[in-house]
Amino acid sequence: MLTDAREIMQNQAATGSKARPSTKAHNASVDLIAVVVAMTEHGPSVLAVGAGDALPSGPFEHGHRSLQSGLRGWVEHQTGHQLGYIEQLYTFADRDRIGEEGQQRVISISYLALTRAEHSVGLRRRLWRSWYDFFPWEDHRTGVPTIISDVVEPRLLAWASEPGSESLRRERRQRASFAFGLDGSSWNEELALQRYELLYEAGLIEEATRGSERRAPPPPVPGAKMIADHRRILATAIARLRSKIKYRPVVFELMPPVFTLLQLQRTVEALSGRLVHKPNFRRLIEQQELVEETGETTADTVGRPAKLFRFRHAVLDERVAAGTK
Amino acid sequence: MLTDAREIMQNQAATGSKARPSTKAHNASVDLIAVVVAMTEHGPSVLAVGAGDALPSGPFEHGHRSLQSGLRGWVEHQTGHQLGYIEQLYTFADRDRIGEEGQQRVISISYLALTRAEHSVGLRRRLWRSWYDFFPWEDHRTGVPTIISDVVEPRLLAWASEPGSESLRRERRQRASFAFGLDGSSWNEELALQRYELLYEAGLIEEATRGSERRAPPPPVPGAKMIADHRRILATAIARLRSKIKYRPVVFELMPPVFTLLQLQRTVEALSGRLVHKPNFRRLIEQQELVEETGETTADTVGRPAKLFRFRHAVLDERVAAGTK
DNA sequence: TCAAAAGTGTTATCCTTACACCCATGT
DNA sequence: ACATGGGTGTAAGGATAACACTTTTGA
């Protein structure tokens, strides 16, 4: 783990961060990518463009005042949708791409944005797709999906039984059990990214088997694919959001101004992919003083009319830690 | 909140992410910035370059295989230090900088890295500085630091009493109390970034008062300054690390291969800036099976010899959630 | 009267925190 | 003997999860 010879030879006086060698500009193009989430009739949904298999994105341009405003601009251009809450996800460097003057580095900065589907303006090419179209194994609201025991588990076990060292096989079985709640492990909805990466590593994701790979790739696990690594970015967003709703009041970005507690509960359940205990959920929300009654009740559907609530925006000043679990 | 006219006029057919307008390349230079943390005799420390007021950094170059390897390269060049654990912090766009051909966008990608101070090779310009030099109000290991009641609290209250609306003043007082544990609030060590931002907003940070500002800036709160926004990046790293040690076993990246439980406890305390209950800490660590006995005991110092432990690297496979609280 | 949704009360369990105390070793 | 660090037992308190049950409306 020592510095290799070349590095040592090159070392001269260390330079402070501002005294960088300016002999040559090392430029890259910068891409902004958005995972825009809203609740639709089909569940927790993500805004897609193109053939419904791409996240809205575009280059960071000189005219953009900031990264976030650049992102807002592209999403509005491509989907006619205004963004509210925005949070950065991750930055990564794509493989080199061939540009006009030889190879060109591309930096991609991904964001998670939350809105309401009705915020759209006009009817451009815009598509809401349930995120469970892309990750059918992530929806546990009606129990463990059959796809796990029917497809995911056997194929992961096959992968974990491939030739190799026994310790490698044991490690693979262990990771699979932990990520998907097999054997004695319990399901943890926040591991969405680990699950995707595990399937990817096992060659069970369509995007993973491309070009000159091995001779017989196993058939991929069901789930709509996306271009490039957009599905991985979506998995990152889902994991982040599932984690965040537990300690920050971000669900309300997805709610209409006025809602019932059951509607709020259904939203949380849709995001986390699992059911919650109704009486406890209501107590938790009211006890945290996240909402206040409007005084109105629902008149519409069947059943006893429910009180209507609105989010207490004041909690954003009062406390940092407050969420739905 | 509607799309403005200019935006609507510009809108044509929406483009998928790969069908971006390629008429003009929009390039930026990319900077990598590292917050390298280790435990030294002076407590939790950060690797500084220049006059001890800059984080190691350098441009992402074409020769770099990845963002992380570029970061490793720059840190090794500037400090002779090998990095182990690395995690991305945040990406931001600096204000435009004047380059050779007019203005030039600069993207900065910041990272948190954990190592041990002994990992250094050679003696280049390298400096470990306790992070409490930069944030003296963050060390609560020996009780609430006097600087809070003597300096921070009165100046924040003065700021919260400036002319303006009553609701603004109430909001400022509320934020100050919450962030610094004033009035009835309790201290939360994870709010390091919010505290820095609050002080910055109140004009109490030296870096905040530059150029043609108001007539009489108040004297800044004690604490070593850094160039540009490096101190803010450091605050981000501290907050991230303080949060992360609670649910991921990252402390061990800072420990020698073999250590006593008290040494581990001291490290956790140094990072979080507060003391922990010894018996409970030991039970927690052992119960989580994060460590295993080496069979050896310490022979050196005063007191009863302590058992030596090593980190069980296997837990990285077994579980994702495991930490020191 | 029944289904659907809104609610209330209470208990069991676990986790965290704190307190009290004993053990082993060197000066 | 006492200071320093290692180590065990146990109980109080709070948060979480679970179960049982009542209320209000529309079909």
CA A236/CA A194 separation, integer angstroms: 9
Q: Structural domain of residue B71, as residue ranges?
A: 26-131
pLDDT score for A19: 37
Which of B131, B151, B178 delimits the end of a domain? B131
Q: Which residues of B touch A194 (CB under 8 A)?
A: 320
Residue A271 pLDDT exceeds 90: yes
Q: Tell me the pTM.
A: 0.88
Q: Tokens 């006619």 label which residue? A: A80
Q: Is the CB of B304 under 7 A from strand D?
A: yes
Q: Is B236 exposed, middle or buried (0-12, 13-18, 19+ CB in 10 A)?
A: buried
pLDDT score for A165: 94
Based on the fold, state whether residues B126 and B149 are members of the same structural domain.
no
In this structure, is residue B12 part of a structural domain? no
Q: Using the beta-carbon criterion (under 8 Å), do A25 and B100 form an inter-chain contact? A: yes
Give the up-direction half-sphere exposure of residue B264: CA atoms within 13 A in the CB hemisphere.
30
Q: Is the CB of A325 under 7 A from strand D?
A: yes
Q: Tokens 């330079």 label which residue? A: A15
pLDDT digits (tens, 9 = 90+) for A186-240: 999 999 999 999 999 999 999 886 655 555 677 899 999 999 999 999 999 999 9
pLDDT score for B101: 60
What region, left, alpha or beta, does residue A183 occupy, with left being phi > 0 and alpha being psi -120 to 50 degrees?
left
**Of B248, B251, B242, B243, nearest in space to B321 by CA:** B248
Mean pLDDT of A80-100: 83
pLDDT score for B280: 95
B91: Cβ contacts below 8 Å, ≥ 6 apart:
A67, A88, A91, A109, B107, B108, B109, B110
Q: Output the CA angle A323-A178-A210, nearest 5 degrees.
A: 100
Average pLDDT per 10 consecutive residues for chain B, totaling 325 residues: 30 34 60 95 92 93 88 88 93 73 82 85 72 97 95 97 93 93 91 97 87 68 95 98 93 94 95 95 91 85 86 75 65
Residue B302 sits in a domain whose CATH number is 1.10.10.10
Based on the fold, state whether residues A65 and A36 are members of the same structural domain.
yes
pLDDT score for A24: 44
Based on the fold, state whether residues B90 and B63 are members of the same structural domain.
yes
In this structure, is residue B10 part of a structural domain? no
For the record, the structure tokens of A262 come out as 């059951």
Return the biggest CA–CA distance within chain A. Answer: 78
pLDDT digits (tens, 9 = 90+) for A277-305: 999 999 999 888 889 998 888 876 677 88
Residue in chain A nearest B81 by alpha carbon: A3
Q: Is the CB of B260 under 7 A from strand D?
A: yes
Protein-to-nucleotide distance from the CA of B53 to the C1' of D3, whole angstroms = 41
In this structure, is residue A87 part of a structural domain? yes
Residue A86 sits in a domain whose CATH number is 3.90.79.10
Based on the fold, state whether residues B156 and B127 are members of the same structural domain.
no
Q: Which residues of B touch A10 (CB under 8 A)?
A: 77
Q: Using the beta-carbon criterion (under 8 Å), do B49 and A121 form an inter-chain contact? A: no
Based on the fold, state whether residues A165 and A112 are members of the same structural domain.
no
In this structure, is residue A11 part of a structural domain? no
Q: Using the beta-carbon criterion (under 8 Å), do A13 and B49 form an inter-chain contact? A: no
Based on the fold, state whether residues A260 and A165 are members of the same structural domain.
no
Which of A131, A151, A178 delimits the end of a domain? A131
Q: Tokens 């054997």 label which residue? A: A183
CA B229/CA B108 separation, integer angstroms: 11
Which of B131, B151, B177 delimits the end of a domain? B131
pLDDT digits (tens, 9 = 90+) for B30-47: 999 999 999 998 899 999
Q: Which residues of B touch A68 (CB under 8 A)?
A: none
DSSP 3-state of A72: helix
CA A175/CA A194 separation, integer angstroms: 9
Based on the fold, state whether residues B119 and B153 are members of the same structural domain.
no
Closest residue, CA to C1' of D9: B279
CA A214/CA A258 separation, integer angstroms: 54
Based on the fold, state whether residues B63 and B118 are members of the same structural domain.
yes
* CB-nearest partner of A78 from B14, B82, B125: B14
pLDDT digits (tens, 9 = 90+) for A247-261: 899 999 999 999 999
Based on the fold, state whether residues B127 and B149 are members of the same structural domain.
no
Q: A60 or B210: whose pLDDT is higher?
A: A60
Could you tell me if A317 and B191 are in contact, meaning their C-beta atoms sit under 8 angstroms apart?
no
In this structure, is residue B228 part of a structural domain? no
CA A89/CA B81 separation, integer angstroms: 28
pLDDT digits (tens, 9 = 90+) for B143-160: 999 999 999 999 999 999
* CB-nearest partner of A3 from B13, B76, B100: B76
Amino acid code (one letter) for A171 = E
Kindly state the percentage of chain B with pLDDT values over 90: 61
Protein-to-nucleotide distance from the CA of A286 to the C1' of C8, whole angstroms = 14
Based on the fold, state whether residues A156 and A121 are members of the same structural domain.
no
pLDDT confidence tier of residue A8, bands split at 50, 70 and 90: very low
Residue A152 is classified by DSSP as I
pLDDT score for B318: 65
Please give the tally of structural domains in chain B.
Answer: 3
* CB-nearest partner of B14 from A11, A49, A171: A49
Based on the fold, state whether residues B51 and B35 are members of the same structural domain.
yes
Q: A107 to each of A19, A120, A325, B66, B136, how far by Cα in Å?
A: 23, 29, 36, 10, 36
A212: Cβ contacts below 8 Å, ≥ 6 apart:
none
Could you tell me if A128 and A120 are in contact, meaning their C-beta atoms sit under 8 angstroms apart?
no
Based on the fold, state whether residues B33 and B127 are members of the same structural domain.
yes
CA B191/CA A320 separation, integer angstroms: 9
Amino acid code (one letter) for B274 = R
CA B37/CA B58 separation, integer angstroms: 18
In this structure, is residue A15 part of a structural domain? no
In this structure, is residue A314 part of a structural domain? yes
CA B94/CA B180 separation, integer angstroms: 29
CA A249/CA A254 separation, integer angstroms: 11
In this structure, is residue B325 part of a structural domain? no
